[in-house]
Amino acid sequence: MRWFDCYRMRLLLIALIITSVAGAVSGQAADSETNSAAITAAGPRLGPVVVVEVTFPDRDALDELARAGYDISNVQGNVATIYASLEELERLKQTGYPLREIEQQSRQEGFDIMALGSYHSYATLTEELSAYAEAHPDICRLYTLGQSVQGRELWAILISDNPDDEEDEPEFKYVSTMHGDESPVTEMCLYFIDLLLTEYGQDERITNLINSTAIWIVPLMNPDGLELSRRSNASGIDLNRNFPLLTDSSGNIFTGEPLDAETRQPEVRHIMNWTVENSFVLSAGLHTGSLLVCYPYGYNEQMSAVDTPTPDDLLYEEISRRYSMHNLPMWNNRPDGIINSARWYPVIGEMADWNYRYVSCNEVTIEISNNKRPSASQIPALWSDNSESMLSFLEAVHIGVRGIITDRASGEPLWAEVLVEGNSQPVFTDPDVGDYHRMLLPGTYDLVFHVPGYVPVEWKMS
Ligand SMILES: [Zn+2]
């Protein structure tokens, strides 16, 4: 842990304001250009939704499908899985591409059994989470982030050694089941919560993790979708196409556009507000339907299925492998079990892109099963494939450099931007404590610290 002192200088503040205004203006044009496509890709799809597999001839044809706004959920070789309204299905048939209807989304049976290794409903999940929080009051809190379209709570569990205090600790999150028909990942979260809470004080590795990290888990981001057995929320919107699209010029929470949460679907709005409040460092969105870890960016201006790296591409590959290397089926599924999101297929409005661009949280998307909802008897095997991966990925939140930035005179924590020279991606301090956590691969780095109104400070670290 290091302390950095800063000195006030008004001139710098003025320069910073000019820079951020210029950034915001140039970002707006790009945003409005792509908004119509974002709405089409997200929905709404209010009537029946059919899941189809479309065999496309080449990558250009895949790009065309993405640009046309179809809700693609998976691509394997030359086959794309698409969630289509009946009208979209007709348009797809007109392409002449071979097409196979997989299912029409309807309510599935088999909920309401309350035990690990079975599928939970919203009601039994709620009971289970409340019971965990009650049984482990020293290290666990249950919060609601807000309500879904149909009034169900978006539950969030916090596990940490002092759960009521803001501490100099990195904050981590798993957000699960933003697609309502992918409930195995909700069950993985319950197993994970159970593991952390029951092994605290018993297992040294888990005890250390809880003592040094604020661990958040949202087991069910789309409770209405779960109850309706469908991908979208109750308004027919794909929540993983509903986050703000941010381009390089539109800035971030520190220098850029306002949050813009109010215009979003309620489930997305609650996740955005909570994410901003908690200064997350590392995160994963959990899904089923494929078997890989994909990492930003998912969007590029051409909407083309090409590699679209962030400034932290090597770091992203490393943390993605930390998950995939402990999951044998995933590791064997494709090279290292990882891929750049846009290279897989391009998307607009993904949660991971927004986390990285706007709040500088490193987020990946993890797909744990080719079968979206295997029979309940498969759940224990899925957990054994994913338990070490979930722990190892969480541990990665501690790689890199960290410190606290305070005002030298008052000792008050500061909201600051931390930049690594040669890398355009900033991170920010948590203004509650002033701590920052810049995930980095081993190496020697020059860091620069900016606080509006203070002289920038440079620091060498290795
Ligand atoms: Zn999904």
Strand 214-218 relative to strand 49-55, pairing: unpaired
Confidence of residue 158 (pLDDT cuts 50, 70, 90): very high
Q: What separation in Å is there between the alpha carbon of 69 and the centre of ligand 1?
A: 17
pTM (two decimals): 0.85
What pLDDT sits at residue 118?
87
List the domain range (segments joined by +) for residue 377.
122-398
- Of 8, 10, 12, 5, the C-alpha closest to 411 is 5
458 compared with 31, residue with greater pLDDT? 458
Residues tagged active-site: 367
Q: What is the pLDDT of residues 195-245, one digit of tens each?
A: 999 999 999 999 999 999 999 999 999 999 999 999 999 999 999 999 998
Q: Is 296 exposed, middle or buried (0-12, 13-18, 19+ CB in 10 A)?
A: buried
- Distance of CA 367 from the midpoint of ligand 1 (Å): 7
Asked whether the predicted pLDDT for residue 1 surpasses 90, the reply is no
112 found inside a domain: no
Mean model confidence pLDDT for the chain: 87
- pLDDT score recorded for residue 107: 53
Please give the pLDDT value at position 440: 97
Instruction: Give distance in angstroms: CA of 130 to centre of ligand 1.
Output: 26
- 371 lies in the same domain as 456: no
Specify if 147 maps to a domain.
Answer: yes
- Which of 149-153, 202-206, 427-431 is the least confident region? 427-431
Residue 451 lies in a domain: yes
pLDDT (average), residues 66-85: 92
Find out whether 9 and 201 touch, Cβ atoms under 8 Å: no
In a domain, 39, yes or no: no
pLDDT for 22: 28
pLDDT band at 268 (very low <50, low <70, confident <90, very high): very high
- Give me the pLDDT at residue 251, please: 75
Instruction: Identify whether residues 347 and 242 lie together within a single domain.
Output: yes
pLDDT more than 70, % of the chain:
89
CA distance 177 to 222: 6
Q: Is the pLDDT of residue 166 over 60?
A: yes
> In the numeric block, which tokens belong to residue 35?
């908004």
* Confidence tier at 114 by pLDDT (50, 70, 90): low
CB-proximal residues (5 Å) to ion ligand 1: 179, 182, 287
Rounded CA-CA distance 203/207 in Å is 6
Among the listed residues 65, 60, 141, the one whose alpha carbon sits nearest the alpha carbon of residue 99: 65
DSSP 339: E
What are the tokens at 131?
A: 């019971």
Residues 386 and 435 in one domain: no
Q: How far is the CA of 172 from the centre of ligand 1 (A)?
A: 20
What is the average pLDDT across 397-423? 93
In this structure, the answer to whether residues 245 and 355 fall within a common structural domain is: yes
CA of 410 to the centre of ligand 1 (A): 47
pLDDT at 248: 64
Distance CA 227, CA 220 (A): 11
Instruction: Please report, for the domain that includes residue 410, its CATH number.
Output: 2.60.40.1120
Are residues 182 and 68 part of one domain?
no
Alpha carbon 414 to chain centroid, angstroms: 26
* Domains identified in the chain, total number: 3
pLDDT in tens, 3-17: 333 333 222 222 232
